[in-house]
C-alpha cells in the first residue's frame, strides 16, 4: 500500500518522489506497468501519462477502501487500467489474471497510505485515539495489534519491538506493556502510546515520539510486511521482462536493507545509493522525509532509459 502523503488533495495523498520515480522507470508507449502498491493512484496516473497511449497498468492494493479511491482516480484511463484487491506478494498471479506474461516496469511504494494513517479507526497513528487495529486489509481476519499486545509474552514483545522497531528500549517497553495490561486491556492507540512514553527515558524523547518504533513494530508484525516484501520482490524478479525495471520506495531501514540486499544478490542495481527526497519536497510533504528510492534491472542488464 502506497505510503507518503501530506499535503492534501481530493484523494488525501501526495505521491512521494514522483519525479524521481518517473525518471528512473521512464515508462514508454506500449509498456505493461505494474503498481504493486497502487494506493490512491497518484504514481499510477503519472506513469500512464508519461507513457502515453497503448501503455497498460495493473494495480494492486491490500486495502479495499483505498483501492476504491484509485478506481475513481484512474477511471479516465479506461480499459488501460486493471485493479486488483491483492497483496503485492501475489504480483505474478495477478499479472497472469490480467492477461500479461511479463511486466516492463514495476513500482513498490511501501508503508501505509496517508488516508489510512489519518483515519483514527484504522489504528495506525496515536495522536488521536482509535482502536488498536493496524490491519492494512480489514476485510480479512487475522490478529490486530491489540491481540498481539494482549497475548504475547514479555520476551516475545521485547523481541518484536527490538527487531521490527529497532528500539534500544524494547525490554523496558515490553515490561511496561505487560504491567499495564494486568490492570486493564490495552485496546486504544493513545493508551499504548502513553504506556510506551512513560517507559522511555526523557532523554530519548526528541525527534521521534517515543511510541513511533513500537507502533512500527506492531504494524509490521500484524501485516507480515517483511515477509510480504520478500515475496513481492521474488515475484517482481520472476515477471520482469528483458530490459525491464523495478523500483522500490521504502520508509524505514528494515525495508531498505532487504531491498538493497535483494537487488545486489538477485538483480542489477541501477545506482549505488538510494535517491532521497529534496529538502523542498520534505518541506511540502513531511511524510516524505524518510523515503528512499532504489531501482534495479534483470540480472546482467542495465535497463533502458531513465536516471542512472
Report pLDDT digits (tens) over 160-191: 999 999 999 999 999 999 999 999 999 999 99
Paired residues of 248 in beta bridges: 108, 294
Give the per-residue pLDDT at 302: 67
- Pairing mode of beta strands 240-250, 103-109: parallel
Domains of the chain from N-terminus onward = 18-115+225-297 (3.40.50.150), 130-222 (1.10.150.170)
The three three-digit cell numbers of residue 227, written as one number: 515477509
Report pLDDT digits (tens) over 192-205: 999 999 999 876 54
Give the per-residue pLDDT at 307: 40
Cα angle: 205, vertex 135, 184; to 5 degrees: 60
Give the strands of the sheet with 81-85, arranged side by side: 81-85, 56-61, 32-35, 103-109, 240-250, 292-297, 268-269
Supply φ then ψ for residue 109, to 5 degrees. Answer: -115, 95
Give the per-residue pLDDT at 116: 60
Paired residues of 27 in beta bridges: none
Give the per-residue pLDDT at 178: 98
The three three-digit cell numbers of residue 307, written as one number: 536516471
Sign of CA dihedral 157, 158, 160, 165: positive
Residue segments in the chain with a per-residue pLDDT below the cut of 50: 1-9, 11, 205, 303-308
Give the per-residue pLDDT at 32: 98
pTM of structure = 0.88
Which helix (H) or strand (E) segment holds residue 165: the answer is: helix 154-165
Terminus-to-terminus CA distance in the chain, angstroms? 26
Amino acid at each position: 500500500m502506497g505510503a507518503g502523503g501530506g499535503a492534501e488533495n481530493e484523494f488525501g495523498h501526495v505521491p512521494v518522489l514522483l519525479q524521481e520515480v518517473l525518471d528512473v522507470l521512464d515508462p514508454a508507449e506500449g509498456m505493461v506497468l505494474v503498481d504493486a502498491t497502487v494506493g490512491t493512484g497518484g504514481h499510477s496516473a503519472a506513469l500512464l501519462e508519461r507513457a502515453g497511449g497503448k501503455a497498460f497498468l495493473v494495480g494492486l492494493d491490500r486495502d479495499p477502501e483505498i483501492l476504491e479511491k484509485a478506481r475513481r482516480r484512474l477511471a479516465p484511463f479506461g480499459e488501460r487500467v486493471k485493479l486488483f484487491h491483492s497483496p503485492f506478494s501475489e504480483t505474478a498471479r495477478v499479472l497472469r489474471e490480467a492477461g500479461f506474461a511479463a511486466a516492463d516496469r514495476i513500482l513498490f511504494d511501501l508503508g501505509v497510505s496517508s488516508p489510512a494513517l489519518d483515519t483514527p479507526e484504522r489504528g495506525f497513528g496515536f495522536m488521536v485515539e482509535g482502536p488498536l487495529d493496524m490491519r492494512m486489509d480489514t476485510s480479512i481476519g487475522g490478529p490486530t495489534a491489540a491481540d498481539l499486545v494482549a497475548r504475547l509474552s514479555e520476551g516475545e514483545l521485547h523481541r518484536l519491538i527490538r527487531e521490527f522497531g529497532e528500539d534500544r528500549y524494547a525490554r523496558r517497553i515490553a515490561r511496561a506493556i505487560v504491567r499495564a495490561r494486568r490492570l486493564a486491556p490495552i485496546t486504544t492507540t493513545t493508551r499504548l502510546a502513553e504506556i510506551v512514553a512513560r517507559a522511555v527515558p526523557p532523554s530519548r524523547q526528541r525527534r521521534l515520539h517515543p511510541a513511533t518504533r513500537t507502533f512500527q513494530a506492531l504494524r509490521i508484525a500484524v501485516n507480515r510486511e517483511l515477509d510480504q516484501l520478500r515475496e513481492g520482490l521474488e515475484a517482481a524478479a520472476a515477471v520482469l521482462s528483458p530490459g525491464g525495471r523495478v523500483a522500490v520506495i521504502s520508509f524505514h531501514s528494515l525495508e531498505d536493507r532487504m531491498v538493497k540486499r535483494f537487488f545486489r544478490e538477485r538483480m542489477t542495481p541501477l545506482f549505488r545509493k538510494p535517491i532521497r527526497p529534496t529538502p523542498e519536497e520534505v518541506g511540502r510533504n513531511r511524510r516524505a522525509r524518510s523515503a528512499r528510492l532504489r531501482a534495479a534491472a534483470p540480472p546482467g542488464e542495465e535497463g533502458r532509459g531513465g536516471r542512472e
